[in-house]
């Protein structure tokens, strides 16, 4: 009843449906390797993103709250943003943390990576752990950003990710990866 390995479709060319600041919407041609059938699928092409779990020396998680245009609502999240072309993910995480919250310092490392949505997006989101972050400089927001910075205990942040106060799936995933290494 359970079939074998699902086929890996062969990706062909694409045409661009729309280009925005955030992503390029593409119609990509795929061919099934066995059936030979050809079909177009939508793929949103975007740069990789970074999300940051940053912990202060007194074991608090740095959170940001901002208006989100997709959900049309305020959203409580871990800091994050877009990795610049050629930028190292850890560097991007440290940069975004400082820009959005003014926190820096400590040590930073890659905690893991997830796919925002492998069904329809081609990018990855790297999760960076910053340990020992302290207030380090002025914030530097993008023109449309207004960010409320707050601190939560680790237990609070994990609880909020599980009970719907933190709802951004990438923040939830970031906190889950963090919880995994925290217990080691």
Q: Distances in Å between the alpha carbon of 1 and those of 4, 33, 34, 59, 91? A: 10, 22, 20, 50, 48
Per DSSP, the three-state class of 76 is strand
When asked if residue 2 is in the footprint of a copy of itself (CB under 8 A), the reply is yes
Q: Which residue, among 142, 137, 38, has the nearest Cα to 80 in the 3D structure?
A: 142
By beta-carbon proximity to a copy of itself, the closer residue of 14 and 91 is 14
When asked if residue 31 is in the footprint of a copy of itself (CB under 8 A), the reply is no
When asked if residue 98 is in the footprint of a copy of itself (CB under 8 A), the reply is no
For the bound state, the minimum distance from the C-beta of residue 65 to a copy of itself, rounded and expressed in Å, comes to 6
Among 62, 108, 125, 133, binds a copy of itself (CB under 8 A): 125
Give the range of 54-62, 72-80, 83-91, 92-100 binding a copy of itself by CB under 8 A: 72-80
Q: Which of residues 141-170 bind a copy of itself (CB under 8 A)?
A: 144, 146-150, 161-164, 167-170
Neighbours of 83 (CB within 10 A): 22
Per DSSP, the three-state class of 118 is coil
For the bound state, the minimum distance from the C-beta of residue 164 to a copy of itself, rounded and expressed in Å, comes to 6
When asked if residue 122 is in the footprint of a copy of itself (CB under 8 A), the reply is yes
Among 38, 71, 107, 140, binds a copy of itself (CB under 8 A): 71
Exposed, middle or buried, 176 (CB in 10 Å: 0-12/13-18/19+)?
middle
Q: Which residue, among 107, 148, 113, has the nearest Cα to 130 in the 3D structure?
A: 107
């Amino acid at each position: 009843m359970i079939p074998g390995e699902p086929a890996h479709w062969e990706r062909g060319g694409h045409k661009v449906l729309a280009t925005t600041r955030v992503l390029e919407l593409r119609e990509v041609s795929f061919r099934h390797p066995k059936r030979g059938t050809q079909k177009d699928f939508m793929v949103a092409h975007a740069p990789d993103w970074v999300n940051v779990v940053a912990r202060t020396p007194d074991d608090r998680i740095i959170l940001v709250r901002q208006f989100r245009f997709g959900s049309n609502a305020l959203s409580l999240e871990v800091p994050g943003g877009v990795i610049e072309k050629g930028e190292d993910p850890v560097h991007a995480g440290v940069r975004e943390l400082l820009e959005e919250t003014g926190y820096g310092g400590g040590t930073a490392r890659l905690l893991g990576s997830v796919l925002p949505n492998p069904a329809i997006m081609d990018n990855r989101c790297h999760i960076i752990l910053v340990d020992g972050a302290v207030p380090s400089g002025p914030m530097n927001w993008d023109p449309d950003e207004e960010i409320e910075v707050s601190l939560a205990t680790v237990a609070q942040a994990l609880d909020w990710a599980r009970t719907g106060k933190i709802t951004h799936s990438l923040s939830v995933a970031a906190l889950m990866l963090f919880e995994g290494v925290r217990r080691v």
